[in-house]
Amino acid sequence: MNLAVRANPTHANDPMLPRLLLVDDDADLLRLLSLRLRASGYCVDAVDSAESALAHLAVHTPALVISDVRLPGRDGLSLFDEIRNSHPGLPVILLTAHGSIPDAVDATARGVFGYLTKPFDSRVLLDKVRRALDVSAPRMRYAGAHDHAWRAEIVSRSARMNEVLEEARMVATGDASVLIRGASGSGKELLARAIHRASRRADQPFVAINCGAIPEALLESELFGHVKGAFTGASMSSDGLFLSADGGTLFLDEIGDMPLPLQVKLLRVLQERAVRPVGATRARPVNVRIISATHRDLDAAMHEGSFREDLYYRLNVVRLSLPSLDERREDIPLLAGHFIQGLSEKYGKTIHGFAPEALEMLVAAAWPGNVRQLYNVVEQVCALTTTPLIPSTLVQRALRAPSVEVLTYAEARLRFEREYLTQVLKITGGNVTDAARLADRNRTEFYRLLQRHALTPAMFRLADEDALVAMTGQPKSLQGKGS
């Protein structure tokens, strides 16, 4: 049962207030804690089981989780392990009785923020909450910020993608080197640009180069510049990309493809914070932040000897891992609608969106090329469509493969049941009829599955008309009507 205790009906959804998630099967204690935290100015969501907490976390990421250790079914320690895996930056405070103190101490050693022994003084609780929120303050600033211009190019409502964006916003405040891992087409350069826009270097240049796309003989000159006459064809001096990015950010895409001799020279520039153009006798100071990206396994490349260990540790101060499109399928309708808006203008057509069967086909398809492949498919169907709603036949032709059915519950493993139900509800925006159809289950059985996992359809309904328009391509007032 989801008790859904709110801090204050008048400001429970105020994005500027810290949101806390309480987990305890003692209804009286849950109510008392909610009242105390409400009086201190926090938004509160309260649930009575670990399963309910995980269902809530699939939709909303709070600033802090406070959980009892002893819970029915999955206990608080198991909940903490799940949170640590899916939301590594989210602090957790455990509430424990005297008999379970050793478990709480063990959890602290494993990474839990802290624990409180029942009964506890409310002042101690509030002090612990304040200190935990100090840890997650950058996350809260991101979650509550009205200005999302820094990440405007990244369209997503995926909890996993938003976790990466939260981490990116946190790291953007400093100058630490960032290594972005992700498959080709997953949006590594977009994330690098977002970090730059969220940083204090936002008004300075952002310069990008693909290290695997330029021949080795030219890459050194491109990066470090050259003086006139340094080599055949050097008819004039060039500053190079490091000096062009001075004061700003240099993005080194596919850094794993950089030849070893240039890795040595790059390491020297990073150590000395100075660059010597090809043919020059003096180095010039340079102040740049390095963000690099690769689809390769640099750990394996390092052990094979094709990537320098010292350079690896210089670049890999903070690592961000982008999920593939297959891992954020709930974003496919949103991305497709976003692409249509720009492509409709490009091709001079009025395109409202995809026919339901066509959208289902997009959601179900495999996307080895990730977001880049999705964009190419959407562009192809926009170029060829002669109707305001793009039909499934065009989508199937663009995919060049038979459509793949969404897995039914019977085909999914039991331990993935909750994740599967969450995914189909996200895809359908909380519409149980559509979700049940996608899952190949009747509504009655589907509701039983939702109840088993403490999932409420209302949790997944789109919060604003903009997201709905992005999915359908039509204003809300026109939905369900003929074009």
> What is the per-residue pLDDT across 137-164, written as a single tens digit (0 to 9) for each?
544 444 444 457 898 889 888 888 888 9
* Residue 279 contacts residue 325 (beta carbons within 8 Å): no
Mean pLDDT of 196-214: 93
CA distance 447 to 145: 35
CA distance 222 to 148: 33
Which residue type occupies 463?
A: A
370 or 429, which is more confident: 370
**Has this prediction a pTM greater than 0.75?**
no
Mean pLDDT of 325-354: 92
Mean pLDDT of 281-310: 93
> How far does CA 262 lie from the centroid of its chain?
32
The answer to whether residue 436 scores a pLDDT higher than 80 is: yes
CA distance 339 to 332: 10
Which residue type occupies 359?
A: L
> What is the per-residue pLDDT across 93-147, written as a single tens digit (0 to 9) for each?
988 876 556 665 666 666 788 888 888 888 888 998 988 887 665 444 444 444 5
Q: What is the DSSP string of 77-114?
A: HHHHHHHHHH-TT--EEEEE-GGGHHHHHHHHHHT--E
> What is the per-residue pLDDT across 186-198, written as a single tens digit (0 to 9) for each?
999 999 999 999 9
Q: What is the pLDDT of residue 369?
A: 93
Outline where 305-355 has alpha helix (H): 309-315, 332-346
Q: What is the pLDDT of residue 414?
A: 58
Percentage of the chain beyond pLDDT 70 is: 83
Give the 3-state secondary structure of residue 181. Answer: strand
Q: What is the pLDDT of residue 407?
A: 46
The answer to whether residue 467 scores a pLDDT higher than 60 is: no
Residue 247 gets which letter from DSSP?
A: T
Give the 3-state secondary structure of residue 390. Answer: strand
Query: Residue 110 is encoded by which pair of tokens?
Result: 């494993």
Q: Which residues does 147 contact at the CB level (< 8 Å), separation at least 6? A: none
Q: What are the phi and psi torsion angles at 285 (to 5°)?
A: -65, 145
CA distance 444 to 16: 39
Supply the mean pLDDT for the chain: 83
> What is the per-residue pLDDT across 23-77, written as a single tens digit (0 to 9) for each?
999 888 899 999 989 888 888 999 999 999 988 887 777 889 999 988 888 888 8
The answer to whether residue 88 scores a pLDDT higher than 50 is: yes
CA distances in angstroms from 104 to 24, 66, 96, listed in the order given: 15, 13, 7
* Residue 24 contacts residue 30 (beta carbons within 8 Å): yes
* Residue 298 contacts residue 310 (beta carbons within 8 Å): no
Q: What is the pLDDT of residue 412?
A: 46
Q: Which residues does 140 contact at the CB level (< 8 Å), separation at least 6? A: 18, 63, 133
CA distance 361 to 381: 13
CA distance 471 to 483: 16
Find tokens 């199937």 and name the residue. 396
Query: Residue 361 is encoded by which pair of tokens?
Result: 């086909």
Which residue type occupies 100?
A: S
Residue 449 burial (CB count, 10 A): 18
* Residue 89 contacts residue 166 (beta carbons within 8 Å): yes
